[in-house]
């Protein structure tokens, strides 16, 4: 595997040189005011990226999965009823975590490749006049299937049912890459990690709590220690942590927020959309289908590409790694062997995307699929030539 090639997995994503440097710093005293100069701007940057005026931001030394656990354990009590749809591996894992915490999950089984069933959510919420359901889970971008769901529609479902349940959103593979509107969508807990849209190594769970979620935490009885937001808040008041923070990563996060906000969030989203459209043009030229069932569901951060019946899609990923030193994503769970994934989020340019498309073509041709070399590349080139890139000074 070459260290020079970009990765095309949907996280960890490519790390820009400036962020690698920001993370590489001497030890400082994490109980000194110096640390506050890293922590507070990083939290402010995250809040801005979540498009929230007053969410409380907590950053744990963990990963996105720790962010899920933060949402559950701080807001809920054993036996609480949860509503969730299972439409891919990540929603499945979050449901599994709820069950392991003794929560009572009503699961709406949803075909993998479909988005969240907001209309079904509304029916179930409307049929709960006692408000037994305490939280609704929503995976904004199902990384396993390349499906983006409509969180505004989930909010509308809650409002139409007049239901006060909390709305927890997994934005691990969307936040900082795709439009995310915490306040406008009435999201109560937003969850992400450092290694996807924020372009850093794994190691931070990044969560935003709405005032309503913070209030719910006062009566939530699930056990929590490491992920207790009350301990974290008390630490932050003294520019510190209840334990030792990941200072280098936090410095990187601060720098990542500056980078993203300097580029302009709308430009960041437009860049992801443009790069994704090029990849999708290539997939069409190959005569292949996406796992996502409808264009309105297409994710701008990852494409899960179906391969022909009888072909093991995982072979493409194995072959790309061994022959070309390039990483693509395998299919997970129900779609294992049926799809391979091209991650196209984070620090990526048109030129980098073209190299990934070209490599996927070589692999498919090597493995005997009926792919004309250059067909996908040409389709993407056509798209990129006609849709001018916003130049980035800092794309490393």
Ligand X SMILES: *Cc1c(COP(=O)(O)O)cnc(C)c1O
**Sites of contact with ligand X (CB under 6 A):** 11, 63-65, 90, 139, 141, 143, 170, 172-173, 193, 202
Looking up tokens 């070459």 gives: 2
At 269, list the tokens.
């989203």
Shortest distance (Å) from residue 154 CB to ligand X: 15
Of the candidates 52, 349, 14, the one whose C-alpha atom is nearest the C-alpha of residue 198 is: 14
Shortest distance (Å) from residue 203 CB to ligand X: 9
Residue with smaller CB distance to ligand X, 9 or 377 = 9
Q: Which residues pair with 342 in a beta bridge?
A: 303
Residue with smaller CB distance to ligand X, 60 or 324 = 60
What would you report as the CA-atom Rg of the chain, rounded to the nearest whole angstrom? 21
Report helix angle 89-100 to 64-75, nearest 10: 40
Residue with smaller CB distance to ligand X, 240 or 297 = 297
Shortest distance (Å) from residue 260 CB to ligand X: 18
Cα–Cα distance for residue pair 66/203, rounded to 1 Å: 10
Shortest distance (Å) from residue 144 CB to ligand X: 8
The CB-side HSE value for 190 (13 A sphere, CA atoms) comes to 30
Beta carbons of 272 and 177 less than 8 angstroms apart: yes
Q: Which residues pair with 142 in a beta bridge?
A: 147
Shortest distance (Å) from residue 387 CB to ligand X: 26
- Number of other residues whose CB lies within 10 A of the CB of residue 369: 17
Report helix angle 33-49 to 247-263, nearest 10: 40
Shortest distance (Å) from residue 334 CB to ligand X: 16
Residue with smaller CB distance to ligand X, 65 or 375 = 65
Residue with smaller CB distance to ligand X, 138 or 216 = 138
Of the candidates 342, 260, 244, the one whose C-alpha atom is nearest the C-alpha of residue 30 is: 244
Residue with smaller CB distance to ligand X, 52 or 63 = 63
Closest chain position to ligand X (CB):
64
């Amino acid at each position: 595997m070459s260290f020079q090639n970009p990765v095309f997995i949907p996280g960890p994503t490519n790390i820009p040189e400036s962020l690698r440097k920001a993370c590489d710093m001497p030890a400082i005293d994490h109980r000194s005011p110096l640390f506050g100069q890293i922590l507070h701007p990083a939290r402010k940057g995250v809040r801005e990226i979540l498009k929230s005026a007053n969410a409380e931001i907590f950053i744990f030394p963990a990963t996105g999965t720790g962010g899920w656990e933060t949402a559950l354990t701080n807001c809920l009590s054993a036996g609480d009823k949860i509503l969730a749809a299972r439409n891919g591996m990540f929603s499945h894992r979050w449901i599994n975590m709820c069950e392991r915490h003794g929560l009572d999950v009503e699961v709406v089984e949803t075909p993998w490749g479909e988005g969240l069933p907001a209309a079904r959510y509304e029916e179930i919420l409307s049929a709960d006049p006692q408000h037994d359901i305490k939280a609704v889970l929503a995976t904004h971008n199902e990384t396993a299937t390349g499906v983006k769901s409509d969180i505004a529609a989930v909010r509308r479902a809650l409002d139409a049912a007049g239901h006060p349940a909390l709305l927890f959103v997994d934005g691990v593979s969307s936040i900082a890459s795709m439009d995310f509107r915490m306040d406008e969508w009435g999201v109560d807990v937003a969850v992400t990690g450092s290694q996807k849209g924020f372009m850093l190594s794994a190691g931070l769970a990044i969560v935003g709590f709405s005032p309503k979620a913070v209030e719910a935490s006062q009566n939530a009885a699930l056990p929590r220690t490491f992920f207790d937001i009350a301990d974290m808040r008390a630490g932050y008041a003294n520019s510190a942590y209840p334990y030792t923070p990941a200072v280098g990563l936090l410095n990187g996060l601060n720098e990542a927020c500056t980078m993203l906000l300097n580029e302009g969030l709308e430009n960041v989203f437009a860049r992801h959309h443009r790069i994704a459209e090029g990849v999708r043009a290539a997939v069409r030229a190959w005569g292949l289908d996406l796992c996502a069932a409808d264009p309105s569901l297409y994710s701008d951060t990852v494409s899960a590409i179906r391969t022909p019946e009888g072909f093991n899609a995982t072979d493409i990923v194995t072959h790309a790694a061994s022959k070309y030193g390039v990483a693509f994503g395998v299919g997970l769970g129900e779609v294992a062997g049926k799809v391979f994934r091209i991650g196209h989020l984070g620090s990526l340019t048109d030129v980098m995307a073209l190299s990934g498309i070209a490599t996927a073509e070589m692999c498919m041709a090597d493995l005997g699929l009926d792919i004309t070399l250059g067909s996908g590349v040409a389709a993407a080139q056509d798209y990129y030539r006609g849709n001018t890139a916003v130049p980035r000074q800092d794309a490393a």
